[in-house]
Chains A and B, each alone.
Chain A
């Protein structure tokens, strides 16, 4: 590749992070540090029932016995857990009942992010829960959803209004003992989203949560819990952004999904946390535990993720295929640029008979970034006649980035079938020249080639978001040959 081309590509890659602004807003932020008192304060601020406080305290006690996991090859700056503030909320005495009561600065923030919260301006057919730092500021279209019997609210509200559901399902898919970050989250989680789709209901609109980190030196620890009761269906999407800051900020979320008989959850993520600058300063540590339990027969959970942001992305949205004939899917695009690192993939745990899973992973690495697919497909003895199809494709841009693939397969029966395909390719000079000869500039050419590479995953996104995701890929690709 010529110097000129390299230069152009680099300029393209060096575009700035668009969502890096901060909102000047009075916040109530706990002083940094974690101990039992902090947990009690969080719990009492949220007026939580005792079972929840006790669960948090048990999680904290367990977390204290753990060491930060080091098995990944990620290069992580040591995290000082006593220097993080575990709770921050915009000052506002009571939860707003309507948009008129929401601080206009908050509304403006979401407006700037392209997530208008005013219902008249909203995307048709999409309900939004907006989480700002540690708390949910507003949930739209609640009444309309309530008519269908759908519960869509902040986690804090669910604790107040539906404690029996929380008690029944919280921590059942991702117990606090699951891993270091899951234990930390269980101890200090502040808010998140709760969804319950009753029996036989097809949720009448797309649900989405928009996460925004604003305060400096805070962590964001949210929990999402989605339950799809028998014969129900829901499609849910989450989006994330954060301001540009020189220090790393921790985002350690937990997402639990449960599908009962014949139910389906489609869960999509467009993750665009601040990735840090080109020298690798700052950026979000996105260490998230996501797992779905296909508990019912014929149930289905599909994960779609577009991971373009964060200094480090470390997550494996997984499916436990417990119900007979249940299905799990994982569709992923992970794009890394500059010094970003991604270690992501999935676990498909086949327990029930005749269960099926499909994994489509697309990794794109540019500049000096490192992109890892790590996955496990496990077929238990009882998971007879199960099937898995895995496809892992890596696209390298330039010659300094890295793509790594660690698939693990564990089969304990003789009737299951697994297929694994993997490719690694590069954006070639010939492809760029071909596009340019057709009048397309280099920047758009890279965007087109990448969107072609990602096609199978992009088409899984709800239509309203597919366009946004494509644009996001292009913006985050700023240059890529280093």
Chain B
């Protein structure tokens, strides 16, 4: 296996603007198969922008640089194609789709992915079995599956729902944007268990977070600190622990 084959995501010199404001400034990041990366940093440093840009949100304009996902250039790829290739974004604020059942939505997503790989639609039986076991794993009861997508869900339910979708879609790269915000300890443990269960040698995770707490459960291989649209420091879990105690100020000043 060549080095290129081991790389899931390669970002080179990426600059991105939205609404005329430059947010990312020459960002470099490489994520290999099986790795878990954490991204931390003060508000406005470009963490969510990175997530949305990689996913292809139309409001974010790449002004320079390149993103390669599984060795494919993402710049001309539609949002749904990126997803079908195995890119998953766990939303910071999951979107409500009133009336559309969680089950129907997930089934449409799974079948879209299967269609992309020229596979038949999933059978109702297989789908329901898989759905039920995933929901059980995340402590979500059956009634949750027939409710509208994120409709009237509590903050914790929304985040668990994101993880359920992630587990069902079995992505190659998951970018979880503040999946831990607004979660109580128990929910966080459930979410962390879900994320851990999805880890494999072939798939990778990027976790965007403000707190070390989730990272203590997930133990990332790398912790990156974002400031002003690029990475200013990279370390491991110890760095996250240090940031929890000291904040970001010392790093920014050192820079």
Query: Which has the most chain B C-beta neighbours within 10 Å: A430, A437, A444?
Result: A437
- Contact A430/B95 with A438-B112, A451-B100 known, Cβ cut-off 8 Å: yes
Pair A440/B112 contact, Cβ less than 8 Å: yes
- Which of the segments A265-273, A275-283, A295-303, A453-461 contacts the partner chain? A453-461
A441 interface contact, C-beta 8 A: yes
A426-444: contact bitstring with B at CB < 8 Å (1 yes, 0 no)? 0011110111111111101
Pair B80/A439 contact, Cβ less than 8 Å: yes
A433 to B91, CA, bound (A): 11
* Shortest distance between the CB of A37 and any CB in chain B (Å): 54
B133-167: contact bitstring with A at CB < 8 Å (1 yes, 0 no)? 00000000000000011000000000000000100
Query: Which has the most chain B C-beta neighbours within 10 Å: A439, A440, A442, A444?
Result: A439
B104 interface contact, C-beta 8 A: yes
A453 to B100, CA, bound (A): 7
- Please, which residues of chain B bring their CB within 8 A of the CB of A448? 97, 100, 104-105, 108
Which partner residue on chain A sits nearest B88 by CB separation? Answer: A437
A69 interface contact, C-beta 8 A: no
8 Å CB contact of B80 from A4, A430, A440, A455: A440
| 5 more A-B residue pairs beyond the given contacts A438-B83, A441-B78, A449-B100, with a C-beta to C-beta distance below 8 A | A1-B58, A429-B58, A436-B83, A439-B169, A441-B112
8 Å CB contact of B100 from A436, A442, A455: A455
- Please, which residues of chain A bring their CB within 8 A of the CB of B100? 448-449, 451-452, 455
Pair A452/B112 contact, Cβ less than 8 Å: no
Pair A4/B58 contact, Cβ less than 8 Å: yes
Pair B79/A437 contact, Cβ less than 8 Å: yes
Within 8 A of B (CB), among A400-444: 428-431, 433-442, 444
A391 to B81, CA, bound (A): 38
- Contact A434/B148 with A4-B58, A439-B84, A440-B112 known, Cβ cut-off 8 Å: no
A436 to B81, CA, bound (A): 8
Pair A436/B80 contact, Cβ less than 8 Å: yes
B225 interface contact, C-beta 8 A: no
* Shortest distance between the CB of A459 and any CB in chain B (Å): 10
Which partner residue on chain B sits nearest A440 by CB separation? Answer: B112
B93-124: contact bitstring with A at CB < 8 Å (1 yes, 0 no)? 01111111100110011001100100000000
Which partner residue on chain A sits nearest B82 by CB separation? Answer: A437
Within 8 A of A (CB), among B51-72: 55-59
A2 interface contact, C-beta 8 A: yes
Pair B98/A452 contact, Cβ less than 8 Å: yes
Pair B95/A431 contact, Cβ less than 8 Å: yes
- Contact A433/B57 with A439-B84, A448-B100, A448-B104 known, Cβ cut-off 8 Å: yes
Range class of the A interface residue count: 20 to 34
Which partner residue on chain A sits nearest B79 by CB separation? Answer: A436
* Shortest distance between the CB of A123 and any CB in chain B (Å): 21
A27 interface contact, C-beta 8 A: no
Pair A439/B97 contact, Cβ less than 8 Å: no
A82 interface contact, C-beta 8 A: no
* Shortest distance between the CB of B69 and any CB in chain A (Å): 14
Pair B57/A439 contact, Cβ less than 8 Å: no
- Contact A439/B55 with A430-B95, A434-B91 known, Cβ cut-off 8 Å: no
- Contact A454/B99 with A438-B83, A438-B169, A439-B109 known, Cβ cut-off 8 Å: yes
Pair A439/B116 contact, Cβ less than 8 Å: yes
B214 interface contact, C-beta 8 A: no
A435 to B104, CA, bound (A): 12
A431 to B89, CA, bound (A): 14
* Shortest distance between the CB of B252 and any CB in chain A (Å): 32
8 Å CB contact of A434 from B95, B113, B169: B95
- Please, which residues of chain A bring their CB within 8 A of the CB of B104? 448, 451
Within 8 A of A (CB), among B235-253: none
* Shortest distance between the CB of B106 and any CB in chain A (Å): 8
A44 interface contact, C-beta 8 A: no
- Please, which residues of chain A bring their CB within 8 A of the CB of B89? 437
- Please, which residues of chain A bring their CB within 8 A of the CB of B80? 436-437, 439-442
A454 to B148, CA, bound (A): 12
24 A–B contact pairs at CB < 8 A? A2-B58, A2-B59, A4-B58, A5-B58, A433-B55, A433-B57, A434-B91, A434-B95, A435-B105, A436-B56, A437-B79, A437-B89, A437-B91, A438-B83, A438-B109, A438-B112, A438-B165, A439-B169, A441-B112, A448-B97, A448-B104, A452-B101, A453-B99, A455-B100
A430 to B79, CA, bound (A): 12
- Please, which residues of chain B bring their CB within 8 A of the CB of A437? 55-56, 79-80, 83, 88-89, 91
* Shortest distance between the CB of A466 and any CB in chain B (Å): 13
* Shortest distance between the CB of A296 and any CB in chain B (Å): 35
- Please, which residues of chain B bring their CB within 8 A of the CB of A435? 97, 105, 109
* Shortest distance between the CB of B92 and any CB in chain A (Å): 12
Pair A434/B58 contact, Cβ less than 8 Å: no
Query: Which has the most chain B C-beta neighbours within 10 Å: A434, A442, A449?
Result: A434
Pair B109/A440 contact, Cβ less than 8 Å: yes
Pair A453/B83 contact, Cβ less than 8 Å: no
